[in-house]
Amino acid sequence: MRLTTNQIMSNYQTGLNSAAMQQYSDMNSVMSQRKFQTVAEDPSSAAKAFQLRKQSMATEDHIANVKTIISKFDNASSSALQINTIANQVSGDMLRAINGASSYESRLAYAQGIDALKESIVSSANAKFGDSHIFGGQNVDFVPFQLDEDGYLQFSMDGENYYNVSDPDPDVQEILKSFSDASVFVDLGFGLEYEAGTTNLIENSAFNISICGLDMLGFGETEDGMPTNIVDLMNDFVIELEIDPPDIDYLNDIHDQFSAGADDILDFITSIGTRGTFLNTTQTRLDDSLFALQEKIVDTENIDVAEAITNYSWSTFAYNQALKIGNGILSQSFIDFMH
């Protein structure tokens, strides 16, 4: 094949340009620390990277959620413990009022003390975390608990309709039961699934953050018609103490029921603790997932520095050699040697 001067120059130019492009590309890899700069360079890795990034961001969201919820549960646990402490004190006061107070005045003093502690329990049950009431269940905006004129506890979901927690009316109890059961689910990365074709959430696929104070303080009545709610029990106890002479057997019954209620608070605290432990485990799992995802992202998108620098050095060398060759082949022709 005949080789012409411009052909040599043109081919040399093409080769030199390729070498320069390669060097530029390797330089970009080193500078950006990325294996590929565009999707087109490696479509399958890019598709994988998009997926990993999305998962990573979602996991970060879940971690943020779980942290917030852990704080809420810590707060709830702390308030519940406070209520438990008060309940223990009330239990002691009740025993002393039954057994140790011989005079009407001393019983009245106990009655006043227990009444004050009742207020404290209600205040603690209305505690807030941020803008939200902790023990309102699904109700976070409105004060969930209040005392009626007679000193009995009421619960509300909307701040307008308050229901006596020990109201014997089955309809009211049904409503209170629905309040107690009302849940607030959040997405913690458990899949968030719905029953096919419906908007009914599969509960295992999300986490219920609703904490209803009704479960802590109790609602409804025993078979004997005695309130199970400790605040109402305290109120009944105070009313009885204010009667002279009081019905000691009745007071004992109230105290017994109160003790059972106080035990329920402990169960409630244990339940919150269990959920808190679950949240901590979840956080650990999510942290691990995030770490693994970020590792994968690095593997997928980022360069192996040693390899990238080696590539860059090699392409620089190749480019320099191409320049040297050019100097050799382009400078002379037969004409230079003619006499």
Residues that bind another protein (CB under 8 A): 1-7, 10-11, 14, 32, 34, 36-41, 43, 46-47, 49-51, 53-54, 57-58, 60-62, 64-65, 68-69, 130-132, 136-142, 157-158, 182, 184-187, 192, 194, 197, 199, 201, 206, 209-210, 301, 333-335, 338
Minimum distance from CB of 253 to another protein (Å)? 35
Closest contact distance (angstroms) between CB of 24 and another protein is 16
**What's the length of the chain?**
339
Q: How far is the CB of 142 from another protein (least distance, A)?
A: 7
Complex with another protein: residue 117 or 209, whichever CB lies closer: 209
Comparing CB distances to another protein, the nearer of 112 and 178 is 178
Smaller CB separation from another protein, 39 or 243: 39
Q: Which is nearer to another protein, 29 or 257 (CB)?
A: 29
Residue 132 C-alpha from the chain's centroid: 15
Q: How many CB atoms lie within 10 A of CB 315?
A: 19
Characterise 134 by phi-psi region: left (phi > 0), alpha (psi -120 to 50), beta (else).
alpha
Shortest reach from residue 304's CB to another protein, in Å:
18
Shortest reach from residue 69's CB to another protein, in Å: 7
- Residue whose pair of structure tokens reads 């100097």 in the numeric block: 327
User: Smallest gap, in angstroms, from Cβ of residue 60 to another protein?
Assistant: 8
Q: What is the DSSP string of 282-322?
A: HHHHHHHHHHHHHHHHHHHHB--HHHHHHHHHHHHHHHHHH
Kindly report whether the peptide bond that precedes residue 245 is cis, defined as omega within 30 degrees of 0. yes
Torsion of CA 167, 169, 174, 175, to 10 degrees: -60
Distance between CA atoms of residues 302 and 163, nearest Å: 61
Q: Which is nearer to another protein, 104 or 190 (CB)?
A: 190
Q: How far is the CB of 130 from another protein (least distance, A)?
A: 7
Q: Is the dihedral of CA 321, 322, 328, 331 positive or negative?
A: negative
Instruction: Identify each DSSP E strand in 55-157 by its residue range.
Output: 128-129, 132-133, 145-147, 153-156
* Closest to another protein by CB, 186 or 266: 186
Specify the residue, 33 or 99, whose C-beta has the smaller distance to another protein. Answer: 33
Cα 320 to Cα 19: distance, rounded to the nearest angstrom: 9
Q: Smallest distance, Å, CB 168 to another protein?
A: 24
Contact partners, residue 311, CB within 8 Å, separation at least 6: 26, 29
- Cα–Cα distance between 144 and 126 in angstroms, integer? 6
Residue 242: exposed, middle, or buried by beta-carbon count in 10 A (0-12, 13-18, 19+)? middle
What minimum distance in Å lies between the beta carbon of 2 and another protein?
5
Nearer to another protein, 1 or 306 (CB): 1
User: What distance in Å separates the CA atoms of residue 217 and residue 233, rounded to the nearest whole number?
Assistant: 10
Choice between 78 and 302, CB closer to another protein: 302
